[in-house]
A and B are shown apart, each in its own frame.
Chain A
Amino acid sequence: MKQTLYDKLWRQHVVHTESSDSDSMALIYIDRHLVHEVTSPQAFESLKMAGRKLWRLNSILAVADHNVPTTDRSHGIHDPISRLQVDTLDQNCDEYGITEFKMNDLRQGIVHVIGPEQGATLPGMTVVCGDSHTSTHGAFGCLAFGIGTSEVEHVLATQCLLMKKSKTMQIAVEGKLGLGVTAKDIALTIIGEIGTAGGTGYAIEFSGSVIRALSMEGRMTLCNMAIEAGARAGMIGVDDTTIEYIKGRPFAPQGELWEQAVAYWRTLRSDDDAVFDRIVTFDAAQIKPQVTWGTSPEMVVTIDGNVPDPARIADEVKRSDMQKALNYMGLEPNTPITRIPVDKVFIGSCTNSRIEDLRAAAQVVKGKHVAANIKQALVVPGSGLVKKQAEQEGLDRIFQAAGFEWREPGCSMCLAMNDDRLLPGERCASTSNRNFEGRQGPGGRTHLVSPAMAAAAAIAGHFVDVRKLDA
């Protein structure tokens, strides 16, 4: 029978099922468990209280990313509550012997950046983490999804999860992307079309000529945002680009094992004519740079568009939600997006903090300077290794000369659990993934964009079409 990539990954991991009925609960084996400081302390505590053992130590890789400061770390974390959470992770990892990249390790970074960077994320794996953006790892032909703390404990204790098979959705992007249009714009276009609940109950596979042409960084950006479309898992079939990226990474197999692994990995794609429950197709030529205007990622328009007008919406709940979003965002209906001024710019997060993202932003700001109205422009690399590579390429100097701050790696202003945050009313062009109320700081106003668009907004002081800068 023809199988989708998801079907193959699922079948490979079923340990036990009560019946062959596809709707029944199955016990699924987990190959890789990524752990961070925010969603794990209660899981370790319960594990201990129940007197249970950890099932498989070498499946786990841990790192602190949400609470870490992005400024000088030589004096540790000054917020005592943040510090306790990071210390608790360190203690748990030391106690069990779990591999952890501690705060001052060069390999420390955002969990969804370092997994792939280390080769700890490999095709064919099931990858879980107590973090919804675990969907990122699906870019490698993995079944990767976020879990809650009870499930973190379940995986620690049993190496398995009880779950139901999802439906499958294929999102095909065909044609050729225009200059200045990126994976982030594809992701936001898709979410704008299918909505933030469009993927609920589905595993999404991204395919088509545009996806094949994307780098691994671009593919990770796209799969990262699958959760913003409601899908727990996003994935892309394995090809040369995937294999090339993994080769030589610390956790990747070598020698004979490498050859054996590659031969298997090449089977990790949907069979031709495999049947999906839903198929959605996009024409790349129609995709433009995107800017969100509201408080949900589906509230998005193209850079040449206007802030929408609730008066034109018939549905009562929708109209009222739109009005609430506009009030929160401090925006008037019908305002051209390019007339919206920006206070802060954030380039970073598990969505857009990899080397390709930093290169794209640096290219835009090179030889220019941030506008006078910009209060702060931050670049937060996804990992210590991304930071180092960027510095070797001179990107740090380009950013600093343009008036950006060059920071240490972490989640930073994506969710403002450390000191990097918006003040009430401040408006941010952000390369992160969520524009929810208060996400980047209480009362802060987030507009989601690509790294190139965030960089362009920093230079202009307002949103601007990056494609026109190139001309």
Chain B
Amino acid sequence: MEKFTTFTGLVAPMDRANVDTDAIIPKQFLKSIKRSGFGKNLFDEWRYLDHGEPGMDPAVRQPNTDFVLNQTRYQGARILLARANFGCGSSREHAPWALQDYGFRVIIAPSFADIFFNNCFKIGLLPIILDVSAMDCLFGAVKSTEGYRLTVDLQQQTVITPNGSTYRFDIDPFRKHCLVDGLDEIGLTLQYAEKIKQFEQQRRAEQPWLFR
């Protein structure tokens, strides 16, 4: 996994609550057996006027010019501002894959759905929770300032605005450690292989019906 220390990027606003994973990446694209290539279909039903199917060339699609990510000023956005309960719905990791493949490295929202939040960390996409008043300020700033960029300093756990003011965010120390050092979680868990085997043996002795 790519290491995450500090990151500066152009910001785009997704100003609606309860954005679900079906909206982030519609079901027809889940048929892929690959991890990559979902970015061109991120928010497909909002982003294009025609109906999308796997394998279609985005160049011949009809973009919905009203959709926020299609506006010229947000081209190349790497940080997404969102509203409450972002990523609700299905457990599809295709949603974080699509956001990452499109180019996002950070999502900032007042709250996230649990499974989505968890999935983001596994692939090095950083979900940051800020309170509603901070979010309102950031939404106001990005809409009124073309080319608005934010810096995220994971080590210091801060979001830094262009005028230098900062918002502090919380992150679980273990998750931070994994992101900062780009660690492989499975490798970490396998360091405890002996402990897992012992646990399993004891469980098998106590509840043998679980191992049939």
Tell me, rounded to whole Å, the shortest Cβ–Cβ distance linking A6 to chain B: 14
Selected from B32, B88, B91, B118, the residue in CB contact (under 8 A) with A131 is B91
Determine whether the beta carbon of B85 is less than 8 Å from that of A16: no
Partner of B199, one of A15, A317, A324: A15
Tell me, in angstroms, the Cα distance from A158 to B188 when the chains sit together: 10
Verify B33–A148 contact, CB threshold 8 A.
Answer: no
Check: A8 CB closer than 8 A to any chain B CB: no
When the two chains form their complex, are residues B17 and A67 in contact, meaning their CB atoms are under 8 A apart?
Answer: no
Q: How far is the CA of A124 from the CA of B208 in the complex (A)?
A: 13
Q: Which of A252-282 contact B (CB under 8 A)?
A: 252-253, 257-258, 260-261, 264
One digit per residue, 1 when the CB lies within 8 angstroms of any chain B CB and 0 when it does not, for chain A 25-49 equals: 1010101000000110110011000
Q: How far is the CB of A341 from chain B (nearest CB, A)?
A: 24
Contact A436 B22 (CB under 8 A): yes
Across the interface, do B189 and A27 meet the contact criterion of CB distance under 8 Å? yes
Whether the pair A197, B85 counts as a contact (CB closer than 8 A) is yes
Residue A9, interface by CB 8 Å: no
Q: Are B26 and A317 in contact (CB under 8 A)?
A: no
Knowing A25-B172, A436-B89, say if A321 contacts B16 (CB, 8 Å). Answer: yes
- Compute how far the CA of A55 lies from the CA of B196 in the bound complex, rounded to whole angstroms: 10
| Nearest-Cβ distance from residue A95 to partner chain B, whole angstroms | 14
Nearest-CB distance from B101 to chain A (Å)?
Answer: 13
Contact: A230 with B118, CB < 8 Å?
no
Stretch in contact with the other chain, from B66-74, B109-117, B158-166: B109-117
Q: Are A320 and B89 in contact (CB under 8 A)?
A: no
Q: A230-B114, A321-B17 are in contact. Are A131 and B90 (CB under 8 A)?
A: yes
| Complex CA–CA separation, A88 to B190 (angstroms) | 27
CA distance A130 to B92 in the complex (A): 7
Judge whether B192 and A196 touch: CB under 8 Å: no
A132 touching B90, Cβ below 8 Å: yes
Closest B-chain residue to A202, C-beta based?
A: B114
Could you tell me the distance in whole angstroms from the C-beta of A114 to the nearest C-beta in chain B? 17
Does A257 lie within 8 Å of B208, measured CB to CB? yes
A137-168 toward B: CB 8 Å interface, digit per residue (1/0)?
Answer: 00000000111111101100111101110000
- Asked whether B180 is an interface residue with its Cβ less than 8 Å from the other chain, the reply is no
Question: Given A41-B33, A148-B119, are A437 and B192 neighbors across the interface (CB < 8 Å)?
Answer: no
- Asked whether, in the complex, the Cβ of B212 is within 8 Å of the Cβ of A150, the reply is no
Q: How far is the CB of B1 from chain A (nearest CB, A)?
A: 10
Tell me, yes or no, whether A125 is within 8 Å of chain B by CB: yes
* Interface contact B209-A253, CB-CB below 8 Å: yes
B22 touches A442 (CB 8 A): no
C-alpha gap A158/B91 in the complex (Å): 20
Q: Are B22 and A437 in contact (CB under 8 A)?
A: yes
Closest to A439 in B: B22
Residue picked from B93, B186, B192, B210, most chain A C-beta under 10 Å: B186
By the criterion CB–CB under 8 Å, are B31 and A148 in contact?
no
Which chain A positions have C-beta within 8 A of B23? 436-438
Q: Which residues of B84-133 have CB atoms within 8 Å of chain A's CB atoms? A: 84-85, 88-93, 96, 111-115, 118-119, 122-123
A465 vs B207: C-alpha distance in the bound complex, in angstroms?
A: 48
Q: Count chain A CB atoms within 10 A of each CB in B33, B45, B203, B212 and give the residue with the most.
A: B33
B91 adjacent to A148 (CB under 8 Å):
yes
List the A residue with the shortest CB-CB distance to B210.
Answer: A31
B residues 154-212 touching A (CB-CB < 8 Å): 172, 174, 185-186, 188-190, 192-193, 195-196, 199-200, 203, 207-212
- Please tell me the size bucket of the interface on B: 35 or more
Question: In the complex, are the beta carbons of B22 and A42 less than 8 A apart?
Answer: no
User: How far in angstroms is the closest Cβ of chain A from B46?
Assistant: 8
B20 in the interface (beta carbon within 8 A): yes
Residues of B near A162 (CB, < 8 A) are 174, 185, 188-189
**A454: chain B residues within 8 A (beta carbon):** none
B35 contacts A by Cβ under 8 Å: yes
Q: A324 CA to B210 CA in the complex, in Å? A: 48
Q: Point out the residues of chain B lying under 8 angstroms from A338, CB to CB.
A: none
The answer to whether A42 touches B45, judged by C-beta atoms less than 8 angstroms apart, is no
A67 to B93, CA, bound (A): 18
Give the residue among A29, A56, A58, A151 with the most B Cβ atoms within 10 A: A151
Q: How far is the CA of A77 from the CA of B34 in the complex (A)?
A: 20
Contact A317 B91 (CB under 8 A): no
Q: Decide: A158 and B22 in contact? CB cutoff 8 A.
A: no
Q: Which 8 interchain pairs have the tightest Cβ spacing?
A: A150-B122, A253-B209, A148-B93, A148-B119, A41-B33, A146-B91, A197-B85, A149-B93
- Measuring CB to CB, which residues of chain A are less than 8 angstroms from any residue of chain B? 15-16, 18, 24-25, 27, 29, 31, 38-39, 41-42, 45-46, 50, 52, 55-56, 58, 66-67, 79, 81-82, 84-85, 88, 122, 124-125, 130-132, 134, 145-151, 153-154, 157-160, 162-164, 196-197, 200-201, 227, 230-232, 251-253, 257-258, 260-261, 264, 296, 317-318, 320-321, 324, 415-417, 434, 436-439, 442
Q: Please, could you name 13 A-B residue pairs with CB atoms under 8 Å apart, sorted by A?
A: A25-B174, A38-B92, A82-B31, A132-B115, A148-B119, A154-B185, A162-B188, A197-B18, A260-B209, A261-B209, A296-B20, A415-B22, A439-B22
Question: A29-B199, A151-B122, A154-B189 are known contacts; what are 16 more A-B pairs with Cβ within 8 Å?
Answer: A15-B192, A15-B196, A27-B196, A38-B92, A46-B35, A150-B122, A159-B200, A160-B189, A260-B209, A317-B17, A417-B30, A436-B22, A437-B23, A438-B23, A439-B27, A442-B45
